[in-house]
Amino acid sequence: MADGPLSDLLVLDLTRALAGPHAAMMLGDLGARVIKVESPAGDDSRGWGPPFLGEGEDRESTYFMSANRNKESLVLDLKSDADKDVLARLVERADVLMENFRTGVLDRLGFPVSRLHELNPGLIVLSITGFGHDGPEASRSGYDQIAQGEGGLMSITGTEQPTKVGVPIADLVAGMYGAYGVLAALHERTSTGRGRVVRTSLLAGMVGVHAYQGTRWTVGGEVPGLAGDHHPSISPYGMFATASAPIQIACGSENLWRALCAALGWDPAEPGFATNALRVANRPALTERMEGLFADQPAEHWLALLSDAGVPSGKVRSMDDVYTWDQALSQGLLLEVSHATKGDLKLPGSPIRFDDNPYSGGRETHLAPPTLGQHDESIREWLDS
């Protein structure tokens, strides 16, 4: 049905909202056949908006569209024995099943892991929860903004007070780690023939991306604070105002500091700024000096100057600017798909490309996010064939 490196896989996506759907979409982008199993009410995110495309009962959520390309939609009422039987038949054929129910819900629906593996011993099960499937707070619901706070990310984001990231990063990262774990389990299955359960959570995802901010505490014993628009350990490395718009500069080495100074006509050995440690300690004074100079010319002037000097720098682009930028387009980061009811649409593309394949995700054709139950008939016919 689809091309791409995972085109021999069948994924059952029982998830809703964002973390699980994002994980399933990642596999779909790489060619897997993904059947999204929805309740009669549909994925919660179908109702999340505005903005919507269309009006009334025919409207489609742009939020839903962000995480459900390259999928088919099948409606099943898992309180119905007949529909439970359909799910069981799908499980027998599947390679992966993804779910993000609260712990115990899948068991109560009649599909504990033991039964799933009775139906299909090679099945990989991905379970994404809010705070983990066990432990003292396993029963808590998982919502992105809460996880951003509980997982420490908000405590290092912002300038004057803790701030959430502009996308649901806890959901997205959990989905990425989930897809990563699934691929590892699929690789293991090639030698064992057995499936296994892969678990992750929004909390785990947040801790997983702490990077050097985590080791500042675990190794260095230092509690990080708000990072703002500047790197806490490197200077100058951050956002600076100009006469027209802010620009970003990243001097990640002493060579780059010297190149910046040459471009600006400064002495790189000036007292107070001669080493990175001094520049970090004196960051407010350095920032004030740089922005005082930058106030004389617009952003484009400084970006051209810095580019000629080999100093990493860039614009702070708006979303409309990103999706019309020649460089982004050259990387396959904008897809054109044909939606069942809304016609031709443009969607963000897969971030993965392969060296012998120019297509986003390695597949030549991509599917638009499905309408609710769009593939009910075709999937049931395929099961009966």
Tell me the residue ranges of DSSP E strands in the chain: 10-13, 33-38, 52-53, 60-61, 72-75, 96-99, 124-129, 197-201, 237-240, 247-250, 313-315, 334-339, 343-348
Radius of gyration of the chain (CA): 24
Could you report how far apart the first and last alpha carbons of the chain are, in Å? 16
Identify whether 13 is a catalytic site residue: no
For 17, the token pair is 């909202």
Cross-strand partners of 248:
239, 314
> 123-148 as b/e, with b when 16 or more CB fall inside 10 Å?
bbbbbbbbbbbeeeeeebebebebbb
Catalytic residue among 171, 229, 267, 344: 171
> Given the DSSP bridges, would you call strands 10-13 and 96-99 parallel, antiparallel or unpaired?
parallel
DSSP H or E stretch at residue 258:
helix 254-264
The whole-angstrom separation of Cα 348 and Cα 116 is 34
The whole-angstrom separation of Cα 24 and Cα 71 is 8
User: By the 8 A CB rule, do 27 and 179 touch?
Assistant: yes
Tell me the residue ranges of DSSP E strands in 18-175: 33-38, 52-53, 60-61, 72-75, 96-99, 124-129
Distances in Å between the Cα of 378 and the Cα atoms of 74, 140, 225, 375, 383 are: 9, 37, 54, 5, 9
Which residue in this structure is represented by tokens 């808590």? 140
Residues annotated as catalytic (active site), given as ranges:
171
